[in-house]
Amino acid sequence: MSLLVETIKVKDGRIYNGKYHSARFNRTRKDLFGIGLPVDLTTKIIIPSYVHKGLFKCRIEYDSHIRHIEFIPYELRTVLTVRMVEAGDLDYSHKFIDRADLDNLFSQRYGCDDILIVKGGRITDTYYANIVLKGEDNRWYTPSSYLLPGTKRSSLLDKGLISEIEVTPASLRRFKELRLINSMIDINDTEGIDISRICF
């Protein structure tokens, strides 16, 4: 079995969304390894001095135990276009390091910056992020179907800043724009992708 990974935002030495990362870490270890003893991941992260200024991705690799922790400087990717691809029977309900099936889908983007994954006739995620969509009412929505329950997504849902809704390829045109969110990216960190830039 591939190792798993948690990717945590650390900005100017501060750990973000630790509660949500710990919850997913603990849920995964219980699901896959039968380990029920919860761990607060923030107590396992020692912030080195060079991480005290700037934006870093804290990458925690683990299986039944934490195997490796590293800090990587982070820069936002520019995503202006996405291509819709069909996932088939892809299962990515746990965040494995091995992303071969996702890599195969990503290779089908054909000139677009990213992919928008469809599974069972429903919109899910992009290659590396959950999505939010701005409705005609200017509120933000996220697909109720997803491949991976992202920590940023969970946090925004709990705060009432986004709502779940079923999204199909046909219903996409009812929205104004699409944005990517993940542990490193908040709603307002990137420009919106106009729905017309989605390649069907």
pLDDT of residue 200: 86
Domain housing 127:
82-199
Domain co-membership, 170 together with 110? yes
10-30, pLDDT tens digit by residue? 999 999 999 999 999 999 999
Ordered DSSP codes for 89-140: T---SS-BS--HHHHHHHTT-TTSSEEEEEETTEEEEESS-EEEEEETTS-E
Our count of domains for the chain comes to 2
Report the pLDDT averaged over residues 87-107: 96
Phi, psi of 41 (to 5 degrees): -60, -30
Domain co-membership, 116 together with 137? yes
Would you state the structure tokens that stand for residue 134, as one six-digit string?
């701005």
Report the pLDDT averaged over residues 43-69: 97
The residue out of 18, 48, 73 marking a domain boundary is 73
Domain co-membership, 30 together with 60? yes
Query: What is this structure's pTM?
Result: 0.94
Domain CATH code at residue 126: 3.20.10.10
